[in-house]
């Protein structure tokens, strides 16, 4: 099963990378850009019994390694 995990900084936390890119776009003349954001996507093939099982396994991976719950949120999609 194809699993996609999107990880992003928790709402309200400053994302310095996104701010820097937004500023750079401004320097290139794109003055109409706001709320620029970046996310990280993890993709994997997962051997699982069902979509539910895949989500369960991916969720465990997030909690154990892929995500730092102090500063990040995540979303799992099974395709």
Chain residues binding other proteins by CB under 8 A are 9, 13-14, 16-17, 20, 64-66, 68, 70-71
Nearer to other proteins, 43 or 65 (CB): 65
The least distance separating other proteins from the CB of residue 10, rounded to whole angstroms, comes to 9
The least distance separating other proteins from the CB of residue 61, rounded to whole angstroms, comes to 11
Nearer to other proteins, 28 or 70 (CB): 70
Within 10 A of 8 (CB to CB), how many other CB atoms are there? 19
Task: Report the SS3 class of residue 42.
Answer: strand
């Amino acid at each position: 099963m194809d699993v996609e995990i999107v990880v992003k900084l928790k709402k309200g936390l400053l994302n310095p990378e996104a701010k820097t890119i937004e500023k750079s776009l401004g320097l290139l003349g794109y003055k109409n850009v706001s709320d620029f954001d970046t996310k990280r996507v993890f993709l994997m093939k997962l051997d699982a019994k069902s979509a539910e099982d895949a989500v369960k396994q991916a969720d465990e991976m997030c909690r154990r390694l892929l995500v730092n719950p102090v500063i990040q949120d995540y979303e799992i999609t099974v395709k």
